Amino acid sequence: MQENNKNASILILSIILSLILWVIFISLSNKISLNLRQNSNFIEKISNEEKIEKNLKLIENELKNILKEIKNQNPNQKNITKSLEEIDNLKDISDEIKIVLDLKIENFALTKNSDFIEFYAFPESNLKIKNFWEDIQISSKNMTNDSSKIDEKNEVALESAIVTTNDYFKKINIKNIWWYSKIDIISSNYFIPQKKYFQIVEKFGKKEILKKDWFLNIN
């Protein structure tokens, strides 16, 4: 009888020890899995940040290449198209993170007298320039060596203006006349400014969260 009780006690103790060891094992496994996930997420975050900086630099270089082609006044359209396609490819960082950069829309602020912006519009473009606050002066001319096709114009815009391009790239300069002007530009085709605004957004479910925004220096 005593032997049976002793065996039963040993069995119960073994079961308890087994349960304790099982709980410890599960706890350690969960901690290890959590650490691995955290390390993996950290590595992925660092990798994404490095890719963002790398791709932004590559996009900036491609925009500079386009601008260089335009300023040559005899641009190679194939090279420009190739650069535009490369820019589109560089915008995707991952399934959730992307670079938002629209070459048909831009916003500028001119904060002092004689402050100006300069950009180059693609052929067959229709640019709507919306001005807020002070008057602005808009100068434009075709990028061509043919003096009969330069089509140079100057005008003062109080609220809005429309600039069109035909067969040539066009250089456009907007100058502040007084103190402060806020300018929105929407184009039917691409245009390359001296500075290009961009955003980094990350998708969470159906929402997109702004992670960063700044300007690329193109000039």
What pLDDT does 169 receive?
94
Is the domain of 93 the same as that of 163?
Answer: no
**Of 31-35, 41-45, 98-102, 124-128, which gets the smallest average pLDDT?**
41-45
What pLDDT does 189 receive?
95
The total number of residues shown for the chain amounts to 219
- Residue 29 scores a pLDDT above 60: yes
Domain assignment of residue 114, yes or no: yes
Is the domain of 95 the same as that of 116?
Answer: no
DSSP structure class, residue 84: H
- Residue 33 scores a pLDDT above 60: yes
Is the domain of 95 the same as that of 119?
Answer: no
Residue type, 175: K
The confidence band for 210, taking pLDDT boundaries of 50, 70 and 90, is: very high
**Domain final residue pick, 82, 99, 116:** 99
What pLDDT does 34 receive?
62
Mean pLDDT over all residues of the chain? Answer: 85
Q: Indicate left, alpha or beta for 58 from its phi (over 0: left) and psi (-120 to 50: alpha).
A: alpha
Is the domain of 72 the same as that of 123?
Answer: no
Calculate mean pLDDT across residues 134-159.
86
Domain assignment of residue 197, yes or no: no
**Domain final residue pick, 84, 99, 114:** 99
Domain count for the chain, please give it: 2
pLDDT in tens, 181-209: 889 999 999 999 989 999 999 998 889 99
Is the domain of 55 the same as that of 113?
Answer: no
CATH number at residue 122: 2.60.120.380
Domain that holds residue 85: 1-99
Predicted TM-score (pTM) above 0.75: yes
**Of 4-18, 56-70, 165-179, which gets the smallest average pLDDT?**
4-18
Tell me the percentage of the chain whose pLDDT exceeds 70: 83
Domain assignment of residue 204, yes or no: no
Identify whether the C-beta of residue 59 lies closer than 8 Å to the C-beta of residue 99.
yes
Distance in angstroms (rounded) separating the CA atoms of residues 137 and 157 = 6
Is the domain of 86 the same as that of 164?
Answer: no
Residue carrying the six token digits 């925009």: 63
Is the domain of 80 the same as that of 145?
Answer: no
Q: Sign (positive/negative) of CA torsion 100, 106, 110, 116? A: positive
How far, in Å, are 143, 165, 168, 169 from residue 149 at the CA level?
A: 9, 12, 9, 11
Is the domain of 3 the same as that of 51?
Answer: yes
Is the domain of 77 the same as that of 109?
Answer: no
Identify whether the C-beta of residue 92 lies closer than 8 Å to the C-beta of residue 174.
no
Is the domain of 95 the same as that of 111?
Answer: no
Domain assignment of residue 195, yes or no: no
Is the domain of 27 the same as that of 117?
Answer: no
